[in-house]
Amino acid sequence: MALAGVSIITATMTFADGWTCRACWKSNRQQDPVCYRCKTPRDADEAQIEERKAAAEAAAATPEKVPDLLVALPVVIFRSYSRVWVRGGLGVLGILAFLVFGGVTDIGYLALTGGMGAGLIVIGFLSGEVSDAMRNREAWAFVVGAGLSVVAVIGSVMAFEILAPGLANPTAIRWGSVIVFGGAGVAAVAGLVLLFTRRDAEA
């Protein structure tokens, strides 16, 4: 299944016409000169690749530091949401299969359901990448996390309105979405502010 040039294969995201890093086996875009995950150059020789692998193994063997509140809360939130969104997307695709085998012929409704399921899976995988980057205190991850929260609020409200109209009070659904997913956005923004505040204090 593909969405906007990105295909989903098991638990990885593969870019069309991209390249795969031989050190960490992560997929990268065609224009990326280095791997976005481990920073290995695209044209690295065998010696460089082995050096990167050894460094990664040494880092993995080192006991992980317990993160402070700056990253602990948003990391836990987005890591949890990642699993929920992926499983939710698989569930929506299951509903799609049920509709198809049940004889539903409304192409628009089927396409909308399939798109929603695929979107949840993509957002789930992206949320997992964001949580890992937050642990490494990368500023872009907090910004993307806040954006994912906004998308989640809008998407959850639309999902109830489209797939289960009348199942619950619309106002309650909106407030519930804002509280659950908006809270994650607040945590991401707060983490971003603290990130730069601490950098300035340490400088």
Q: Are residues 54 and 75 in the same domain?
A: no
- Which residue, 14, 38, 61, sits at the end of a domain? 61
Domain that holds residue 153: 69-202
Model confidence band, residue 178 (pLDDT cutoffs 50, 70, 90) = confident
Q: Are residues 97 and 131 in the same domain?
A: yes
Q: Are residues 175 and 136 in the same domain?
A: yes
- Which residue, 13, 28, 61, sits at the end of a domain? 61
What are the two backbone dihedrals, phi and then psi, of residue 123, each rounded to the nearest 5 degrees? -65, -35
Q: Are residues 80 and 52 in the same domain?
A: no
Q: Are residues 101 and 192 in the same domain?
A: yes
Model confidence band, residue 1 (pLDDT cutoffs 50, 70, 90) = very low
Least confident of 6-10, 80-84, 117-121, 178-182: 6-10
Angle at 4 between CA 184 and CA 143, to 5 degrees: 25
Q: Are residues 101 and 82 in the same domain?
A: yes
- Which residue, 39, 61, 83, sits at the end of a domain? 61
Q: Are residues 49 and 73 in the same domain?
A: no
Model confidence band, residue 16 (pLDDT cutoffs 50, 70, 90) = low
Q: What is the pLDDT of residues 184-202, one digit of tens each?
A: 888 888 888 877 776 555 5
Q: Which of 47, 25, 45 has the alpha carbon at shortest distance from 35?
A: 25
- For every residue of 77-123, which 3-state class applies, written as one string? HHHHHHHHHHHHHHHHHHHHHHHHHCCCCCHHHHHHHHHHHHHHHHH
Please determine, for residue 35, whether its predicted confidence score (pLDDT) is greater than 50: yes
Please determine, for residue 21, whether its predicted confidence score (pLDDT) is greater than 80: yes
Contact 12, 27 (CB under 8 A): yes
Please determine, for residue 5, whether its predicted confidence score (pLDDT) is greater than 80: no
The residue type at 198: R
Q: How many domains does the chain have?
A: 2
Q: Are residues 94 and 178 in the same domain?
A: yes
Interval 153-159 mean pLDDT: 78
Residue 7: per-residue pLDDT: 38
Q: What is the pLDDT of residues 43-57, one digit of tens each?
A: 888 888 888 888 877
pTM of the model: 0.56
